[in-house]
Amino acid sequence: MNVRRTLELISQYEVKAKKKYGQNFLVDEKVINMIADTVEQGERVIEVGPGLGALTGALLEKCSKLTAYEIDGDLIEILNREYGCEKFTLLNRDFLKVQLPEEKSVLVSNLPYYITSDILLKCFREKDRLKSMTVMMQKEAAAKFFSTRHEYGTLNILADWYSDYRVVCTAGRHGFIPTPNVDSTVMEFVFNDRKADEDFIRFLDVCFSQRRKLLSGNLKKAGYQLTRDLGNIRTEQLTAEELHQLYEELR
CATH of span 3-191? 3.40.50.150
Task: Work out the number of other CB atoms within 10 angstroms of the CB of residue 164.
Answer: 12
List every span in the chain annotated with CATH 3.40.50.150: 3-191
- Residue 1's pLDDT is what? 60
* Arithmetic mean of pLDDT over the chain: 93
List every span in the chain annotated with CATH 1.10.8: 198-250
- Split at pLDDT 50, 70, 90, the class of 14 is confident
User: Which CATH number fits the domain 198-250, given the four candidates 1.20.1650, 1.10.8, 1.10.3470, 1.25.40?
Assistant: 1.10.8
d(CA 74, CA 57): 19
pLDDT by residue (tens digit) across 26-50? Answer: 999 999 999 999 999 999 999 999 9
Residue 148 reports pLDDT greater than 80: no
Contacts 24+ apart (CB under 8 A), 33-39: 33/58, 34/168, 34/169, 34/186, 35/108, 35/134, 35/136, 35/168, 35/169, 35/186, 36/61, 36/62, 38/106, 38/108, 38/132, 38/134, 38/168, 38/188, 39/63, 39/106, 39/108, 39/134
pLDDT by residue (tens digit) across 90-126? Answer: 999 999 999 999 999 999 999 888 899 999 999 999 9
pLDDT by residue (tens digit) across 211-227? Answer: 889 999 999 999 999 98
- Split at pLDDT 50, 70, 90, the class of 2 is low
Average pLDDT for residues 224-242, to the nearest whole number? Answer: 93
- Residue 114's pLDDT is what? 87
DSSP readout, 122-151? HHHHTGGGEEEEEEEEEHHHHHGGGS-GGG
- Looking at residue 100, the DSSP 8-state letter turns out to be P
Average pLDDT for residues 187-204, to the nearest whole number? Answer: 98
Average pLDDT for residues 112-141, to the nearest whole number? Answer: 95
Average pLDDT for residues 182-201, to the nearest whole number? Answer: 98
